[in-house]
Amino acid sequence: MTVAMILSEKGRHVVTASPNISLREVAKELIRHGIGALVVVDGDGAVLGLISERDLVAAVAAFGAQALDSSVAEHMRTNPVSAHENDTVDSTMQTMTLERRRHLPVLREGRLAGLISIGDVVKYRIRVIEEEHRSMREYIAQA
């Protein structure tokens, strides 16, 4: 089971942001798309960082409502932990747990290929476990 399998099911579309937009715009995009993070990219599409709802809350807690007018570049996580398409789901889940990251950009040859969340990983893992469970019950029933 690899990250590529998750992306093949959920899709590879990633909502991105420029480092120059405001946190207010980030909040609007998160709500509009019903997501928890945006990948921050430069004009060539190279990944610069990640901005999540957690980062927004931290900025407002530290700087008050005026933080919403500051740029993404001031609050994004630079050099985010990333995954690759050939990474296993288990190793990705371990990375997310150890690094305390809920979102990982997925890279292919250094370019953005998708984004996975801990919810995507858990959903996929539960489905696989349920399929294994069903197969075991069918095997036992046939014995």
Which residues neighbour 56 within 8 Å (Cβ) at sequence distance 6 or greater?
23, 26, 27, 30, 75
* Residue-wise pLDDT tens digits, 44-79: 889 999 999 999 999 999 999 999 999 999 999 998
* Residue-wise pLDDT tens digits, 87-107: 999 999 999 999 999 999 999
Q: What is the mean pLDDT of residues 27-54?
A: 94
Cα 32–Cα 2–Cα 15 angle in degrees, nearest 5 = 20
pLDDT at 122 over 80: yes
pLDDT at 143 over 80: no
- What's domain 3-142's architecture? Roll (3.10)
pLDDT at 139 over 90: no
User: Per the structure block, which two tokens stand in for 98?
Assistant: 């150890």
Q: What is the mean pLDDT of residues 4-19?
A: 94
Order of strands across the sheet with 83-84? 83-84, 103-108, 111-117
User: Per the structure block, which two tokens stand in for 89?
Assistant: 């789901």
pLDDT at 84 over 80: yes
One-letter-per-residue 3-state SS of 55-113: HHHHHHHHHCHHHHHCEHHHCCEECCCCEECCCEHHHHHHHHHHHCCCEEEEEECCEEE
